[in-house]
Structure 1
């Protein structure tokens, strides 16, 4: 079972690494980082470099595709090579997935039209411009398309998918082994829970 995680300059690290850590522990998983060209790809801070093992042309029929997000997705959204690859591999994938604003990349490729999907809360409204029905849920499954909300929700998406693929017990074992037991010191992880002035501040920065 090949799992292809798309990389591009400026991607958000946890968007890719959360699903990598979860899905990579599935029995028979063969995880590959893929980019337009193989080599090191730096994340949005520029401080982390991840090796893309293969080019898009070298990965033609993965079973699962994971598209991480970024603060700025204009690069992959505008990339004809990325759009064509996503459209091509989607014809045979079992699951096509995204984390955070990665859903905007899938939407730009026309893969989410008419479907329900989620994204980071700051970018959620952009989905509608692609003919997608936005929802604030943390993980959304619509057919074979699984989208996750912001950043850390990629772990939840990975576990959701692991359960669908290998069963609850395997997914629970993965959760146990990575000790994913969130107990944050603050309850401010969504715009509904965070202080209103903090939400307003970040919405203003986004404009």
Structure 2
């Protein structure tokens, strides 16, 4: 499985680095069954994050033909003033004027590919019109915004909607990465990486299967 972690100007570094390290460690533990790299819509370049003074270098272009798994982080920035040039929503919105949405659509249109998101990454997909009617999660402060895009917001740490797997707040990138390892390579590899990182996954992964709860389920802005 080849994974590409997407970077864009203003991305949240922990959203990207947490799943990167988990997947990279899974590749080591599996003898090379997973490879991972940082990519942008434009190709190799230095990418400024939304955290002042911190940048990462992408080494590849996002390639729908090469990537089996694409992980989309959210943005870092102001959470209180949505009109600020440094706000999370503004930074996510800027990606809509790049080649990223078209490339992500191409990935999602290819059978057998999986797109995963951390925190506001699901909002990026939603703002691009790519997950209408799909079940997803995001940071708790963005649940109503996600719901308003036509996606079905689910309050869970990780939501598995088939070829779309989404994580909630920023630290859920660890849980998301471990779940993807378990889903693709099995629990022994995921457990080995979990032990290596001294991190126990939190919460039940939400999937639309089994008995539906009666009077208990809370989804997004609709209780």
* TM-score category of the 2 structures, normalised to the smaller one: 0.7 to 0.9
Residue 58 of structure 2 is aligned to residue 40 of structure 1: no
- Could you tell me how far apart the structure 1 residues matched to 2:145 and 2:100 are? 19
Query: For 2:187 and 2:200, how far apart are their aligned partners in 1?
Result: 16
Paired positions, count: 181
Give the corresponding residue for 1:154.
173
Residue 15 of structure 1, CA deviation? 0.3
Q: Is the CA contact 1:61–1:89 (under 8 Å) kept in the aligned structure 2? A: no
TM-superposed CA distance for 1:106, in Å, is: 1.5
Identify the residue that residue 91 of structure 1 maps to in structure 2.
109
Question: Match of 1:137?
Answer: 156
Q: Distance in 2 between matches of 1:32 and 1:53?
A: 7
Residue 188 (structure 2) aligned to one of 149, 155, 169: 169
Is 1:2 the equivalent of 2:30? Answer: no
2:59 to 53, 58, 61: 53
Q: Deviations over 1:155-176 (max 9, x none)?
A: 1011111111111111000101
**Alpha-carbon shift at residue 148 of structure 1 (Å):** 0.4
Structure 1-normalised TM-score? 0.81
Query: Which residue, 54, 68, 71 being the options, matches 2:73?
Result: 68
CA distance 1:40–1:59, shift in 2 (3 Å): farther
Output one character per residue of 1:89-145: Cα deviation in whole Å (capped at 9) or x when no partner. Answer: 222353210000000111233332111111011111111222111122111111111
- Residue pair 1:83, 1:108 contacting (<8 A) in 2 also: no
> Which residues of structure 1 form unaligned runs of 5+?
183-207
Give 3-state SS (helix, strand or coil) of 1:159's partner: helix
Distance in 1 (CA, whole Å) between partners of 2:2 and 2:128 is: 21
- Cα deviation, residue 79, structure 1: 2.5
Unaligned runs of 5+ in 2: 78-87, 202-223
The aligned counterpart of 1:102 is 121
Tell me the equivalent position of 2:99.
81
Q: Which runs of 4+ in 1 moved over 3 A?
A: 58-61
Work out whether residues 138 and 149 of structure 1, in 8 Å CA contact, stay in contact via their aligned partners in 2.
yes
CA RMSD of aligned residues (A): 1.8
Structure 2 partner of 1:14? 14
* Counterpart contact for 1:120–1:149, Cα < 8 Å: yes
SS in 1 for 2:25: coil
Superposition TM-score, scaled by structure 2 size: 0.76
